[in-house]
A and B are shown apart, each in its own frame.
Chain A
Amino acid sequence: MKKTKWLVVLLAFLFAASFALAGGTKEEGAAKKPGKEVTLTVVWHGGVCADMLLEIAKDWTAMTGVKVEGALVGYGPAWHDKIASEFAAKGSGFDLACWDSQSIGEFAGGGHCVLLNPYIEKSDKLKMSDWSPEMLARYGEYPDASGKIYALPINADAEGMHYRKDLFEDPKEKSGFKAKYGYELDIPQTWSQLRDIAKWFTRPPEMYGLGMMGGREYDYLTSVTNCLVWVFGGELWNPKTNEIKGYIDSPASIDGVKFYIDLMQYCPPGVETWGWDEVNTAFQTGKIAMAHNWFYFFGAMDDPEQNPYADATGFAILPGEVGRDGLFRREFSMGGQGIGISKYSKHVQEAWDFIEWYEMKEQQKRYGAVCQTGRQDVLDDPAWLNANDYNRLFRVAFKYTNDYWHLPEYAILLDILQEETHNAITGKKSPEKAMADCADRQEKVLEKAGYKIKRTPHVDVPDTVCPNPCGKPKIIPIHVD
């Protein structure tokens, strides 16, 4: 009997010890103190921008005593999953969250974030016009064109190009190129020119002409193929009729996919597994002459400590192309995140106060030193524009951006598009079949979610019937100084 008592005592001790060491729940700590110390938790993916936000937030803490702490997660699906699970469980684990612009449909559509319009209207520090209408729409509006804002831009991004200026300006290269192709070696204004330049610089195994993303994960491949689909006049879908068949599998879209496949031969082998990490590395090790990359990484390309070729690196806006209807289009993907307030947070007002302060010009200027802000006045500020070689480009670039579907089903549609496009570029299916399957599967997803699809006659170049078509009758070069 004595021994049994011992056992009970031991078990009780173990439980007590685990309680003591476990330190109770955080709610106990916070709720028991009157005039409590509020801590806001922000979820974002780890990185320089998040670090900057938290640093700037320290000033807010000094001013108001409200602490702002980060719960940073890894980039990739895990980041989306973390936010999604918390929302799904209606948990108060975080107060603010930054998500990719495309996820606004999922989170706002599910009713998980706080509508910000009343707060902005009442605010004396911020007004709607602080951001350009596209900025607000892209990062925070749901549904499209409704005017309802659920997130404010926290980091703006777009795709661009960087290249080896030293190679482009080398007289031998220039004369050789002109002799072969008949025009000056310069920043390409069309993708065909880019292909020529890529072919010119492809000298395996030391150097290849181009590096671009092509990986199956997340949105690596399609953020590039979308550019190509768009510039050839293709589209992902028609937002007005919810049609996907006849859009992503239209002849124009397939032109884009085929062009990507063509470009792959001028990229280092293995490009079908590349994310931006590999693109960065290839450029920094001098393997590629041009890179298709996000503006987010231009800072690293400009930094001699990270890029041995920093002094020889030039930046440019991505080219456009003339589609099969003879019209010129220049479009590429946008990136970046918006920040929203969780509806289940216990500190909605404090969260808004912080965001209100953070999105003011002074703070955004500080933030603009390392990342791109969404505020128009900072984007127009000469100090920011002249801070380096590429800020000026960003201001121009954003006008040419296009985006994925802003629907709650975004994640599913993305995955299907990624999978089928990847099948096309790895040769598992022909581009026509892959895109047709993609359209088929995606429409099933929409139907399952309850969308009504209105059938309209199909055209070869869907951009002509979509809202806001952008084909121009002639090539419009961009030179930004």
Chain B
Amino acid sequence: MLTADYNKYARKEKMIKFLFLWPTLIILFFLIAYPFIMLIYYSFFNFSFLRPVNTRAVGFKNYTSILTDTYTWERFIFTFKYVVLAVSIQFLLGVFIAYFLQREFSGREAIFTIVLMPMMLCPIVVGLFWKYMFNTEWGVINYFVHNILGFNQVEWLGTEKNSLWATIIADTWMWTPFMILLSSAAFSSVPKYLYEAASIDRASGWFKFMNITLPLSAPILILALIFRLMDSMKQFDLVYTLTGGGPGDATQTISFTLYKTAFQYFYTGEGSAWAFILLIIIIGLSSILIKLLNYLSERNK
């Protein structure tokens, strides 16, 4: 009797696994994997969807021409600078603000919603609007910097260094709420009795944070970091509307270069090669973080 029950149980388990996993798998396969396979295929050709004449197979030439181009390395370096700076600032700020909002105080829920608002805006609107605010002449930011604080007018979008920081500022403003939200959810899911137990032992706030909150929320925090990192590498809407890749080609992230190659130039073959290279980079970075995530999850169990 036990064996029969067990078989029934095993079959049900299997059916549930099947039912639960397959919708996800099917949708993802058709809508992502299949076009991506097409992409890889095209990356070996000198092909353009728009100008289909002159197509010929070129083997790895697309890849080598990208990797040996000096501009490519400039783009990589810029993208890394931007991603590392932006995501670190967002991570630190986000965790700090989330922790800050953990306490109970009147109006907490309203404040929490307000703090999340920048993330809710459309990235296109955010990019355009920050462009307006960063305008050298009419921008309100320069108004504060120049008229009120007395510094020189900053050409925010006119020089390389400034436009890097302008992009970081706009990106941070917009995406820190993502970290805040996930961190809050993570902090909220730490069982309260652990804090109570620590209070009984006269533990300080800092101690509680370092030894209870942080370790238990670490998996979700790392997950948030992974997502933020990936989204940042893919970042397009903001750069597109804020700087247009300028000045010159200073703020062209890899994602933006991909857009230019695949869309403005419609060099499908080369664009596909770029996409694949970008994917490899992101996979590499995420793998490292995922390993960390798995290690922390296991440890928590």
- Chain A residues close to B by CB (< 8 Å): 4, 7-8, 11, 77, 80-81, 84-85, 87-89, 106-107, 109-112, 215-218, 268-270, 272-273, 278, 281-282, 287, 408, 411-412, 415, 419, 422-423, 426, 428, 448-450
Contacts and interface: CB of A to CB of B under 8 A. Distances in A.
A24 B291 CA distance: 44
Contacts of A218: 244
Q: Range of interface residues on chain B?
A: 35 or more
Interface stretch (B130-138, B171-179, B191-199): B130-138
A415 B260 contact: yes
Interface of B: 12, 15-16, 19, 23, 46, 49-54, 135-138, 153, 155, 157-160, 243-249, 260, 263-268
Contacts of A273: 135-136, 157-158, 246-247
Contacts, number: 98
Contacts of A272: 158, 247
B138 A281 contact: yes
Contacts of B157: 270, 273
Given A81-B264, A269-B137, A270-B155, A215 B54 contact: no
B137 A422 contact: no
Given A11-B23, A269-B155, A422-B246, A88 B137 contact: no
A344 to B, nearest CB: 13
Given A84-B50, A270-B158, A411-B264, A423 B248 contact: yes
28 contacts: A4-B15, A4-B16, A8-B19, A77-B263, A80-B264, A81-B263, A81-B264, A84-B266, A88-B50, A89-B49, A109-B51, A110-B51, A110-B52, A112-B50, A216-B246, A270-B137, A270-B157, A272-B158, A272-B247, A408-B51, A411-B264, A412-B267, A415-B265, A422-B248, A423-B248, A449-B51, A449-B54, A450-B54
Contact of A269 (B50, B51, B136): B136
Contacts of A281: 138
B264 A415 contact: yes
A89 B23 CA distance: 27
Contacts of B155: 269-270
Given A77-B263, A217-B245, A269-B153, 13 more contacts: A88-B49, A107-B50, A215-B246, A216-B247, A268-B137, A270-B155, A273-B136, A408-B51, A412-B264, A419-B248, A422-B248, A426-B158, A428-B248
A205 B177 CA distance: 39
Given A7-B19, A89-B49, A77 B264 contact: yes
A11 B19 CA distance: 10
Instruction: Please provide the 4 A-B residue pairs with the shortest distance between their CB atoms, ordered closest to farther.
Output: A216-B246, A88-B49, A270-B136, A217-B244
A161 B22 CA distance: 63
Contacts of A7: 19
Contacts of A282: 137
A448 B61 CA distance: 12
